[in-house]
Structure 1
């Protein structure tokens, strides 16, 4: 597995080498993003059928943990400039979106202030946002692929900029969605005079949610 990851990273380094305005020169630059695209799709699919229990959420968490190694490895690729940097950031933003969902929703499953129907609706909302982000990453994969000859460098860079903006908005939306969900629990806990339990569940960072 380590050998496979190193091979994928080498392809990524080749993809990001050279000037920002140079043509993408690499045998298959979509390999790295392709693995993540497939994983995000699996996470979104599993989220639609997730049971509203911690045990039922284990499959989603496992899928994310299996993919996390790709994000962690990509973070170590440095000295990128221009659109090469944006390609990397696009992939990492999808990782951020997945992490926000998995870590926050796992805590929500232990939150007694949410009803099962509400938890199901939340999982569905996260799944939709994940699917949208996965589609953007899928498009990015096709754009940076060396076999795409219908675009010139300027058109390709414009497309990357557009996807970068879309994913940044998606990440902000997922953060906002999470804050709003937790704020509902906070209001309910305050009505029950039980704020301590919420702070204990969501930790010291909980104050940013309300």
Structure 2
């Protein structure tokens, strides 16, 4: 009987030791789980924080600073557009009223002016996109660079228009002189 109790006591001690080892293993597993869980949460928080930072940055690119909207080139572009429209309309009216250009020449003049006007309106559309919030993702430097590029293009179109009008005006002047010379010659020789 003592021997049976001794065997049971040894088995009980062995079971207690196994239970203690299982308890330690379970404790280690819990610590491991906590490390992994905390690590995952930390990575998730960092990722979400990083996304939030990117979101704030990208949203900031959608905003337009007051300095960009007040940039002097913006008004210069609008002014160039007004000048272009005013000058081409005046020139077209002058050339049309002169009756010294035939229908084909007037069609060509109208085509040139129409192309310039359309390209100039495209510049205004692009300018509107650049200075309007939530249209483009650009920082202030990129916006200012775009505005400068649009300004240069608008100035180029205005310079072309003025040169074109000057050449057409010279042609008109030559035709007026030729017509006056013809009238003078007709009156001298009394020809109808």
How high is the TM-score relative to the length of structure 1?
0.52
1:9-24 aligned at under 5 Å gives the runs 24=64
Matched, 1:86 2:86: no
Matched, 1:164 2:148: no
Q: Distance in 2 between matches of 1:135 and 1:153?
A: 21
Counterpart of 2:110 (choices 123, 128, 138) is 123
1:87-126 aligned at under 5 Å gives the runs 87-126=74-113
Aligned residue for 2:163? 176
Superposition deviation, residue 120 in structure 1: 1.2
Counterpart of 2:123 (choices 136, 147, 160) is 136
Please state which structure has a larger fraction of its residues in helix.
Answer: 2
- Size of the alignment, in residue pairs? 119
RMSD: 2.3
1:83–1:157 Cα contact (<8 Å) kept: no
SS in 2 for 1:192: helix
Show structure 1 runs of 4+ deviating over 4 A: 80-83
1:28-107 aligned at under 5 Å gives the runs 84-107=71-94
Point out where structure 2 has 5 or more consecutive residues left out of the alignment: 1-62, 182-192
1:83–1:160 Cα contact (<8 Å) kept: no
Counterpart of 2:141 (choices 149, 154, 161) is 154
Q: Distance in 1 between matches of 2:179 and 2:95?
A: 17
Q: Distance in 2 between matches of 1:81 and 1:143?
A: 9
Please say which structure displays the higher CA radius of gyration: 2
Superposition deviation, residue 112 in structure 1: 2.2
How high is the TM-score relative to the length of structure 2?
0.57
Superposition deviation, residue 193 in structure 1: 3.1
SS in 1 for 2:85: helix
1:24–1:146 Cα contact (<8 Å) kept: yes
Aligned residue for 2:178? 191
2:88–2:161 Cα contact (<8 Å) kept: yes
Point out where structure 1 has 5 or more consecutive residues left out of the alignment: 1-22, 27-79, 195-210
